[in-house]
Protein backbone atom coordinates (compact mmCIF):
# COMPACT_ATOMS: atom_id res chain seq x y z
CA UNK A 1 0.00 0.00 0.00
CA UNK A 2 1.43 3.39 -1.00
CA UNK A 3 0.84 6.94 0.26
CA UNK A 4 -2.74 7.78 1.32
CA UNK A 5 -3.75 4.11 0.97
CA UNK A 6 -3.22 4.15 -2.77
CA UNK A 7 -1.84 1.20 -4.74
CA UNK A 8 1.95 0.97 -5.00
CA UNK A 9 2.09 1.58 -8.73
CA UNK A 10 0.36 5.00 -8.73
CA UNK A 11 2.18 7.60 -10.81
CA UNK A 12 2.88 10.26 -8.15
CA UNK A 13 3.28 13.62 -9.87
CA UNK A 14 3.91 15.43 -6.58
CA UNK A 15 3.94 13.99 -3.05
CA UNK A 16 3.01 17.37 -1.50
CA UNK A 17 0.47 18.42 -2.50
CA UNK A 18 -0.46 14.81 -3.22
CA UNK A 19 -1.21 14.42 -6.93
CA UNK A 20 -1.36 10.89 -8.27
CA UNK A 21 -3.00 8.84 -11.03
CA UNK A 22 -3.11 5.07 -11.55
CA UNK A 23 -1.58 3.30 -14.55
CA UNK A 24 -4.30 3.47 -17.26
CA UNK A 25 -4.59 -0.34 -17.35
CA UNK A 26 -5.62 -0.31 -13.66
CA UNK A 27 -8.81 1.58 -14.58
CA UNK A 28 -9.77 -1.01 -17.23
CA UNK A 29 -12.40 -3.59 -16.40
CA UNK A 30 -13.74 -1.72 -13.35
CA UNK A 31 -16.92 0.28 -14.02
CA UNK A 32 -16.48 1.46 -10.40
CA UNK A 33 -12.87 2.32 -9.65
CA UNK A 34 -11.47 0.63 -6.53
CA UNK A 35 -10.78 3.36 -3.94
CA UNK A 36 -7.05 2.53 -3.81
CA UNK A 37 -6.88 3.17 -7.57
CA UNK A 38 -8.94 6.41 -7.67
CA UNK A 39 -6.83 9.42 -8.78
CA UNK A 40 -6.06 12.12 -6.22
CA UNK A 41 -5.83 15.83 -6.97
CA UNK A 42 -4.90 18.37 -4.29
CA UNK A 43 -3.87 22.02 -4.28
CA UNK A 44 -2.61 22.05 -0.72
CA UNK A 45 -2.23 19.98 2.41
CA UNK A 46 -4.66 17.18 3.12
CA UNK A 47 -6.33 18.33 6.35
CA UNK A 48 -7.21 15.84 9.08
CA UNK A 49 -10.54 16.95 10.49
CA UNK A 50 -12.14 15.55 13.64
CA UNK A 51 -15.64 14.53 12.46
CA UNK A 52 -17.04 15.27 15.93
CA UNK A 53 -16.00 18.94 15.82
CA UNK A 54 -16.60 19.47 12.09
CA UNK A 55 -19.39 21.96 11.31
CA UNK A 56 -20.91 22.97 8.01
CA UNK A 57 -22.18 26.52 7.74
CA UNK A 58 -24.79 27.42 5.16
CA UNK A 59 -24.89 31.19 4.79
CA UNK A 60 -25.17 34.12 2.39
CA UNK A 61 -28.48 34.93 0.69
CA UNK A 62 -30.57 32.56 2.82
CA UNK A 63 -33.50 33.16 5.18
CA UNK A 64 -32.18 30.79 7.88
CA UNK A 65 -28.38 30.42 8.08
CA UNK A 66 -27.50 26.91 9.31
CA UNK A 67 -24.68 25.39 11.25
CA UNK A 68 -24.81 21.61 10.94
CA UNK A 69 -22.79 18.89 12.64
CA UNK A 70 -22.19 15.60 10.84
CA UNK A 71 -24.91 14.03 13.01
CA UNK A 72 -27.33 16.83 12.01
CA UNK A 73 -26.58 16.29 8.34
CA UNK A 74 -27.00 12.53 8.63
CA UNK A 75 -30.20 12.62 10.71
CA UNK A 76 -32.09 15.57 9.24
CA UNK A 77 -31.90 14.74 5.52
CA UNK A 78 -32.69 11.70 3.41
CA UNK A 79 -29.67 9.65 2.33
CA UNK A 80 -28.96 9.23 -1.36
CA UNK A 81 -26.37 7.37 -3.45
CA UNK A 82 -25.05 8.42 -6.87
CA UNK A 83 -22.49 6.67 -9.07
CA UNK A 84 -20.45 9.50 -10.58
CA UNK A 85 -17.27 9.82 -12.58
CA UNK A 86 -14.92 12.60 -11.48
CA UNK A 87 -12.46 13.87 -14.05
CA UNK A 88 -9.88 16.56 -13.52
CA UNK A 89 -10.12 19.33 -16.12
CA UNK A 90 -6.35 18.84 -16.48
CA UNK A 91 -6.72 15.16 -17.42
CA UNK A 92 -4.49 14.44 -20.47
CA UNK A 93 -2.63 17.76 -20.04
CA UNK A 94 0.67 15.98 -20.74
CA UNK A 95 -0.21 15.82 -24.44
CA UNK A 96 -0.82 19.59 -24.48
CA UNK A 97 2.53 20.16 -22.74
CA UNK A 98 4.20 18.18 -25.54
CA UNK A 99 2.81 20.76 -27.98
CA UNK A 100 4.09 23.73 -25.95
CA UNK A 101 5.22 23.82 -22.31
CA UNK A 102 2.79 24.75 -19.55
CA UNK A 103 4.97 25.73 -16.58
CA UNK A 104 3.84 24.90 -13.07
CA UNK A 105 1.01 22.56 -14.04
CA UNK A 106 0.71 18.82 -13.43
CA UNK A 107 1.43 16.74 -16.59
CA UNK A 108 -1.54 14.39 -16.15
CA UNK A 109 -1.69 11.40 -18.43
CA UNK A 110 -5.09 9.90 -19.21
CA UNK A 111 -5.99 8.55 -15.76
CA UNK A 112 -6.92 11.72 -13.81
CA UNK A 113 -10.45 10.28 -14.00
CA UNK A 114 -12.20 7.65 -11.89
CA UNK A 115 -15.70 6.52 -10.92
CA UNK A 116 -17.15 5.82 -7.46
CA UNK A 117 -20.42 5.27 -5.58
CA UNK A 118 -20.97 8.32 -3.39
CA UNK A 119 -23.44 8.39 -0.50
CA UNK A 120 -24.65 11.43 1.42
CA UNK A 121 -27.49 13.91 1.33
CA UNK A 122 -28.76 16.04 -1.52
CA UNK A 123 -27.47 19.62 -1.55
CA UNK A 124 -30.99 20.54 -2.69
CA UNK A 125 -32.47 19.37 0.62
CA UNK A 126 -29.89 21.22 2.73
CA UNK A 127 -30.41 24.40 0.72
CA UNK A 128 -34.17 24.08 1.07
CA UNK A 129 -33.76 24.01 4.87
CA UNK A 130 -31.84 27.31 4.67
CA UNK A 131 -34.27 28.98 2.24
CA UNK A 132 -32.15 30.67 -0.43
CA UNK A 133 -33.47 33.95 -1.84
CA UNK A 134 -34.38 34.41 -5.50
CA UNK A 135 -31.17 36.44 -5.93
CA UNK A 136 -28.98 33.46 -5.04
CA UNK A 137 -27.90 32.52 -8.56
CA UNK A 138 -24.74 30.70 -7.46
CA UNK A 139 -23.86 28.32 -4.65
CA UNK A 140 -20.25 28.57 -3.48
CA UNK A 141 -18.26 25.94 -1.55
CA UNK A 142 -15.23 26.48 0.68
CA UNK A 143 -12.88 23.68 1.77
CA UNK A 144 -10.76 23.42 4.91
CA UNK A 145 -7.42 22.99 3.12
CA UNK A 146 -4.93 25.79 2.41
CA UNK A 147 -3.83 25.92 -1.22
CA UNK A 148 -0.07 26.33 -1.63
CA UNK A 149 1.73 28.70 -3.97
CA UNK A 150 -1.00 31.26 -4.54
CA UNK A 151 -1.24 34.80 -3.28
CA UNK A 152 -3.15 35.55 -1.11
CA UNK A 153 -3.11 32.12 0.59
CA UNK A 154 -6.65 30.76 0.69
CA UNK A 155 -8.68 27.59 1.00
CA UNK A 156 -9.75 25.72 -2.10
CA UNK A 157 -13.20 26.80 -3.30
CA UNK A 158 -15.54 27.12 -6.23
CA UNK A 159 -19.19 27.50 -7.14
CA UNK A 160 -21.92 26.06 -9.31
CA UNK A 161 -25.06 27.68 -10.68
CA UNK A 162 -28.09 27.47 -8.37
CA UNK A 163 -30.01 25.43 -10.99
CA UNK A 164 -27.40 22.70 -10.80
CA UNK A 165 -27.15 22.96 -7.01
CA UNK A 166 -30.90 22.35 -6.63
CA UNK A 167 -31.18 19.69 -9.34
CA UNK A 168 -31.06 16.82 -6.82
CA UNK A 169 -27.92 15.36 -8.41
CA UNK A 170 -25.41 17.22 -6.25
CA UNK A 171 -24.43 15.48 -3.02
CA UNK A 172 -22.75 16.27 0.27
CA UNK A 173 -21.11 12.86 0.61
CA UNK A 174 -19.47 11.03 3.52
CA UNK A 175 -19.22 7.57 1.96
CA UNK A 176 -17.26 6.40 -1.08
CA UNK A 177 -17.72 2.90 -2.52
CA UNK A 178 -19.79 1.89 0.54
CA UNK A 179 -17.03 2.77 3.01
CA UNK A 180 -16.28 5.92 5.00
CA UNK A 181 -14.92 8.68 2.75
CA UNK A 182 -11.10 8.55 3.01
CA UNK A 183 -9.24 11.60 4.35
CA UNK A 184 -7.53 12.20 0.99
CA UNK A 185 -10.91 12.28 -0.77
CA UNK A 186 -12.40 14.91 1.52
CA UNK A 187 -13.49 13.41 4.87
CA UNK A 188 -15.61 14.07 6.75
CA UNK A 189 -17.77 15.53 3.92
CA UNK A 190 -17.18 16.57 0.32
CA UNK A 191 -19.32 17.93 -2.45
CA UNK A 192 -19.99 15.71 -5.49
CA UNK A 193 -21.12 17.58 -8.60
CA UNK A 194 -21.81 14.90 -11.21
CA UNK A 195 -21.27 16.00 -14.80
CA UNK A 196 -19.02 18.95 -13.89
CA UNK A 197 -15.23 19.21 -13.91
CA UNK A 198 -13.72 17.63 -10.79
CA UNK A 199 -12.67 21.02 -9.40
CA UNK A 200 -16.25 21.86 -8.37
CA UNK A 201 -16.51 18.76 -6.17
CA UNK A 202 -14.97 20.55 -3.18
CA UNK A 203 -13.42 18.28 -0.53
CA UNK A 204 -13.42 18.94 3.24
CA UNK A 205 -16.31 21.33 2.66
CA UNK A 206 -16.92 23.70 5.60
CA UNK A 207 -19.03 26.44 4.14
CA UNK A 208 -21.79 26.71 1.56
CA UNK A 209 -22.71 30.24 0.53
CA UNK A 210 -25.70 31.32 -1.52
CA UNK A 211 -24.67 34.37 -3.55
CA UNK A 212 -25.47 36.55 -6.52
CA UNK A 213 -22.20 35.93 -8.41
CA UNK A 214 -19.85 32.99 -8.99
CA UNK A 215 -17.24 32.30 -6.29
CA UNK A 216 -14.40 34.81 -6.06
CA UNK A 217 -12.05 31.97 -5.05
CA UNK A 218 -8.81 31.89 -7.02
CA UNK A 219 -9.91 28.47 -8.31
CA UNK A 220 -13.07 29.89 -9.87
CA UNK A 221 -12.01 33.42 -10.83
CA UNK A 222 -8.46 32.79 -12.12
CA UNK A 223 -7.83 29.06 -12.37
CA UNK A 224 -9.88 26.35 -14.13
CA UNK A 225 -10.41 28.66 -17.08
CA UNK A 226 -9.61 28.19 -20.75
CA UNK A 227 -7.62 31.32 -21.58
CA UNK A 228 -6.94 32.50 -25.13
CA UNK A 229 -3.66 30.95 -26.32
CA UNK A 230 -1.69 34.22 -26.20
CA UNK A 231 -2.84 35.26 -22.69
CA UNK A 232 -0.26 35.27 -19.87
CA UNK A 233 -1.99 33.52 -16.95
CA UNK A 234 0.27 35.42 -14.52
CA UNK A 235 -1.23 38.79 -15.45
CA UNK A 236 -4.71 37.87 -16.73
CA UNK A 237 -7.42 39.63 -14.69
CA UNK A 238 -9.99 37.66 -12.69
CA UNK A 239 -12.74 36.38 -14.94
CA UNK A 240 -10.55 36.08 -18.07
CA UNK A 241 -11.31 33.32 -20.54
CA UNK A 242 -13.91 30.61 -20.24
CA UNK A 243 -14.89 29.27 -16.84
CA UNK A 244 -15.04 25.48 -16.73
CA UNK A 245 -18.23 23.91 -15.52
CA UNK A 246 -19.70 20.96 -17.39
CA UNK A 247 -17.42 18.03 -18.22
CA UNK A 248 -16.35 17.49 -21.83
CA UNK A 249 -16.75 14.78 -24.43
CA UNK A 250 -13.55 12.77 -24.07
CA UNK A 251 -12.16 9.26 -24.31
CA UNK A 252 -8.91 7.39 -23.83
CA UNK A 253 -7.40 4.00 -24.48
CA UNK A 254 -6.64 2.06 -21.27
CA UNK A 255 -5.22 -1.20 -22.67
CA UNK A 256 -2.89 -2.21 -24.28
CA UNK A 257 -0.45 0.06 -22.43
CA UNK A 258 1.60 2.67 -24.28
CA UNK A 259 4.78 1.17 -25.73
CA UNK A 260 3.85 -2.46 -25.14
CA UNK A 261 4.82 -5.40 -27.34
CA UNK A 262 1.84 -7.39 -28.64
CA UNK A 263 1.22 -10.25 -31.04
CA UNK A 264 0.33 -9.68 -34.68
CA UNK A 265 -3.35 -10.40 -35.42
CA UNK A 266 -6.47 -9.72 -33.36
CA UNK A 267 -5.87 -7.61 -30.23
CA UNK A 268 -8.36 -6.35 -27.67
CA UNK A 269 -8.35 -2.59 -27.11
CA UNK A 270 -10.26 -1.12 -24.12
CA UNK A 271 -10.90 2.36 -22.79
CA UNK A 272 -13.33 4.85 -21.32
CA UNK A 273 -15.50 7.61 -22.78
CA UNK A 274 -17.39 10.47 -21.13
CA UNK A 275 -19.92 12.98 -22.45
CA UNK A 276 -20.96 16.44 -21.28
CA UNK A 277 -24.05 17.18 -19.23
CA UNK A 278 -27.39 16.47 -21.00
CA UNK A 279 -25.52 14.30 -23.54
CA UNK A 280 -24.46 10.68 -23.55
CA UNK A 281 -21.70 8.74 -25.25
CA UNK A 282 -23.29 7.51 -28.46
CA UNK A 283 -20.43 5.63 -30.13
CA UNK A 284 -16.71 4.97 -29.85
CA UNK A 285 -14.53 4.25 -32.90
CA UNK A 286 -11.11 2.61 -32.86
CA UNK A 287 -8.53 2.75 -35.66
CA UNK A 288 -5.27 0.85 -36.14
CA UNK A 289 -4.10 2.94 -39.10
CA UNK A 290 -4.09 6.51 -37.85
CA UNK A 291 -7.77 7.15 -38.56
CA UNK A 292 -8.15 5.92 -42.14
CA UNK A 293 -10.31 2.96 -41.16
CA UNK A 294 -12.45 2.73 -38.03
CA UNK A 295 -14.13 -0.08 -36.18
CA UNK A 296 -17.08 0.58 -33.86
CA UNK A 297 -16.35 -0.46 -30.26
CA UNK A 298 -18.75 -2.35 -28.00
CA UNK A 299 -19.87 -0.17 -25.12
CA UNK A 300 -20.72 -1.47 -21.67
CA UNK A 301 -23.88 -0.29 -20.00
CA UNK A 302 -22.60 2.48 -17.66
CA UNK A 303 -23.03 1.93 -13.90
CA UNK A 304 -25.23 5.06 -13.69
CA UNK A 305 -26.35 8.09 -15.70
CA UNK A 306 -23.39 10.17 -14.38
CA UNK A 307 -20.75 7.53 -15.04
CA UNK A 308 -18.28 6.93 -17.83
CA UNK A 309 -18.80 4.29 -20.53
CA UNK A 310 -16.20 1.53 -20.72
CA UNK A 311 -15.70 0.15 -24.22
CA UNK A 312 -13.81 -2.58 -26.04
CA UNK A 313 -12.92 -3.40 -29.64
CA UNK A 314 -10.83 -6.06 -31.33
CA UNK A 315 -8.44 -4.75 -33.98
CA UNK A 316 -6.25 -6.71 -36.34
CA UNK A 317 -2.62 -5.61 -36.10
CA UNK A 318 0.04 -5.94 -38.80
CA UNK A 319 3.67 -6.54 -37.82
CA UNK A 320 5.79 -3.55 -36.82
CA UNK A 321 5.06 -0.26 -35.12
CA UNK A 322 1.33 0.48 -34.90
CA UNK A 323 -0.62 3.41 -33.56
CA UNK A 324 -4.06 2.69 -32.10
CA UNK A 325 -6.48 5.62 -32.02
CA UNK A 326 -9.85 6.07 -30.32
CA UNK A 327 -12.49 8.77 -30.57
CA UNK A 328 -15.96 9.09 -29.06
CA UNK A 329 -19.17 10.64 -30.40
CA UNK A 330 -22.00 12.01 -28.25
CA UNK A 331 -25.75 12.01 -28.73
CA UNK A 332 -25.58 15.44 -30.43
CA UNK A 333 -23.29 13.79 -33.06
CA UNK A 334 -20.33 15.88 -31.90
CA UNK A 335 -16.98 14.13 -31.87
CA UNK A 336 -13.47 14.75 -30.54
CA UNK A 337 -10.93 16.85 -32.43
CA UNK A 338 -8.03 14.98 -34.02
CA UNK A 339 -5.03 16.88 -32.64
CA UNK A 340 -4.09 18.58 -29.35
CA UNK A 341 -2.35 21.52 -31.12
CA UNK A 342 -5.46 23.67 -31.78
CA UNK A 343 -6.73 22.93 -28.25
CA UNK A 344 -3.57 24.22 -26.51
CA UNK A 345 -4.41 26.80 -23.84
CA UNK A 346 -2.15 28.50 -21.27
CA UNK A 347 -3.39 26.53 -18.23
CA UNK A 348 -3.69 23.26 -20.13
CA UNK A 349 -7.31 22.26 -19.65
CA UNK A 350 -9.69 20.03 -21.59
CA UNK A 351 -7.45 18.09 -23.88
CA UNK A 352 -10.18 16.18 -25.68
CA UNK A 353 -8.19 15.17 -28.76
CA UNK A 354 -8.14 11.63 -30.17
CA UNK A 355 -6.40 9.21 -27.83
CA UNK A 356 -3.39 7.28 -29.19
CA UNK A 357 -1.20 4.44 -27.98
CA UNK A 358 1.87 3.14 -29.77
CA UNK A 359 2.55 -0.59 -29.89
CA UNK A 360 5.06 -2.96 -31.41
CA UNK A 361 3.41 -6.01 -32.97
CA UNK A 362 5.46 -9.10 -33.68
CA UNK A 363 4.72 -12.69 -34.74
N1 LIG B 1 -10.83 21.25 -0.85
C2 LIG B 1 -10.41 20.83 -2.04
N3 LIG B 1 -11.30 20.28 -2.88
C4 LIG B 1 -10.90 19.83 -4.09
C5 LIG B 1 -9.56 19.98 -4.52
C6 LIG B 1 -8.63 20.56 -3.62
O7 LIG B 1 -7.43 20.70 -3.90
N8 LIG B 1 -9.10 20.97 -2.38
N9 LIG B 1 -9.22 19.56 -5.80
C10 LIG B 1 -10.31 19.54 -6.77
C11 LIG B 1 -9.96 18.97 -8.05
S12 LIG B 1 -9.11 20.00 -9.11
C13 LIG B 1 -10.36 17.72 -8.42
S14 LIG B 1 -10.07 17.17 -9.98
C15 LIG B 1 -11.05 16.84 -7.48
C16 LIG B 1 -10.26 15.57 -7.26
O17 LIG B 1 -10.90 14.72 -6.35
P18 LIG B 1 -10.14 13.48 -5.74
O19 LIG B 1 -8.84 13.96 -5.14
O20 LIG B 1 -11.06 12.88 -4.76
O21 LIG B 1 -9.87 12.55 -6.88
O22 LIG B 1 -11.25 17.43 -6.20
C23 LIG B 1 -11.54 18.81 -6.22
N24 LIG B 1 -11.84 19.25 -4.89
MO1 LIG C 1 -8.99 18.99 -11.15
pTM for the structure as a whole? 0.98
Rounded to 5 degrees, φ, ψ at 120 are -175, -145
Tell me the best of 40, 43, 170 to mutate to test the pocket of ligand 1, counting ligand atoms within 8 Å of each CB and taking the most: 43
Name the residue at shortest CA distance from atom 15 of ligand 1.
198
Measure the CA–CA gap between 266 and 171, rounded to whole angstroms.
Answer: 43
C-alpha 195 – ligand 1 centre gap (Å): 15
Residues in the ligand 1 pocket, defined by CB under 6 Å: 38-43, 86, 88, 143, 145, 156, 185, 198-199, 201-204
3-state secondary structure the chain: CCHHHCCCCCEEEECCCCEEECCHHHHCCCCCCCCCCCCECCCECCCCCCCCCCEEEEEECECCCEEEEHHHHHHHCCEEEEEEEEECCCCCHHHHHHHCCCCCCCCCCCCCEEEEEEEEEEHHHHHHHHCECCCCCEEEEEEEEEECCCCCCCEEEEEEEHHHHCCCCCEEEEEECCEECCHHHCCCCEEECCCECHHHCCCCEEEEEEECCCCCCHHHHCCCEECCCCCCCCCCCCCCCEECCECCCEEEEEECCCCCEEECEEEEEEEEEECCCCCCEEEEEEECCCCCCCEECEECCCCCCECCEEEEEEEEECCEEEEEEEEEEECCCCECCCCCHHHCCCCCCCCCCCEEEEEEEEC
Tens-digit pLDDT profile for residues 23-51: 999 999 999 999 999 999 999 999 999 99
CA of 113 to the centre of ligand 2 (A): 9
CATH number of the 250-362 domain: 2.60.40.650
Q: Are 256 and 313 in contact (CB under 8 A)?
A: no
Name the residue at shortest CA distance from atom 19 of ligand 1: 40
| Paired sense of beta strands 205-211 and 55-60, if any | parallel
pLDDT in tens, 47-105: 999 999 999 999 999 999 999 999 999 999 999 999 999 999 999 999 999 999 999 99
Residue nearest to atom 23 of ligand 1 (CA): 199
Average pLDDT over every residue of 198-203: 98
CB 205 within 8 A of CB 172: yes
Ligand 1, atom 21, residue with closest C-alpha: 40
Q: List all residues 6 or more positions away from 291 whose beta carbon is below 8 Å from its beta carbon.
A: 325, 327, 338, 354
Best residue for ligand 1 mutational test, from 199, 200, 244 (most atoms within 8 Å of Cβ): 199
Q: Which CATH architecture fits 3-243?
A: Alpha-Beta Complex (3.90)
Largest alpha-carbon pair distance within the chain? Answer: 72
Ligand 1 center from residue 41 Cα (angstroms): 5
d(CA 62, CA 73): 18
The predicted-structure confidence for 250-263, as pLDDT tens digits, reads as follows 999 999 999 999 99
Sheet holding 250-255, edge to edge: 250-255, 265-274, 309-317, 298-299
CA 11–ligand 1 middle distance (angstroms):
17
For ligand 1, mutation pick of 48, 91, 113, 186 (most atoms within 8 Å of CB)? 186
Q: Output the residue whose Cα is nearest ligand 1's atom 18.
A: 40
349 Cα: distance to centroid of ligand 2 (angstroms): 9
Pick the closest to residue 103 from 311, 340, 309, 348 (CA basis). 348
Model confidence at 276, in pLDDT bands (50, 70, 90)? Answer: confident
Among 145-149, 158-162, 205-209, 314-318, which stretch is predicted with the lowest mean pLDDT? 145-149
Mean pLDDT, range 201-219, rounded to an integer:
98
How far is the centre of ligand 2, averaged over its atoms, from the C-alpha of 279 (Å)?
A: 21
How much of the chain, in percent, has pLDDT values that exceed 90? 96
Percent of the chain with pLDDT over 70: 100
Average pLDDT for the chain: 97
Rounded to the nearest whole angstrom, what is the distance from the C-alpha of residue 36 to the centroid of ligand 1? 16
Based on its alpha-carbon atoms, the radius of gyration of the chain, rounded to whole angstroms, reads 21
What is the number of the ligand 1 atom nearest to the C-alpha of 114?
Answer: 21
Instruction: Work out the burial of residue 178: count CB atoms within 10 Å of its CB; fewer than 13 is exposed, 13-18 middle, 19 or more buried.
Output: exposed
Residue ranges of the domains in the chain?
Answer: 3-243, 250-362
The whole-number pLDDT of residue 22 equals 98
pLDDT of res. 151: 84
* Position 1 confidence tier, pLDDT thresholds 50, 70, 90: confident
Pocket test of ligand 1: the residue of 42, 176, 244 to mutate, having most ligand atoms within 8 Å of its CB, is 42
How many other C-beta atoms can be found within 10 angstroms of the C-beta atom of residue 54?
18
Calculate how far, in angstroms, residue 197's C-alpha sits from the geometric centre of ligand 1.
10
> CB–CB of 13/108 below 8 Å?
yes
Indicate which ligand has the atom closest to the C-alpha of 10: 1
pLDDT at position 152: 86
Amino acid sequence: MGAWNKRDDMLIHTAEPFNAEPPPAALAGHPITPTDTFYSRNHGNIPRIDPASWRLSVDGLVERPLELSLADLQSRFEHHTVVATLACAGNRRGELMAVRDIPGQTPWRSAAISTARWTGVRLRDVLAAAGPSGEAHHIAFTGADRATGIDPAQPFGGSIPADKATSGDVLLAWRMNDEPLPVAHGAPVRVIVPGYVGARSVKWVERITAQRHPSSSYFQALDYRVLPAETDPGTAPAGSGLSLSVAALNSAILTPSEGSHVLVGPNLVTGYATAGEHRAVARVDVSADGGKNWRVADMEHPPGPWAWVLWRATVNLPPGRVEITARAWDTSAATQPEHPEPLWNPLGYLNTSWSNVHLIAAL
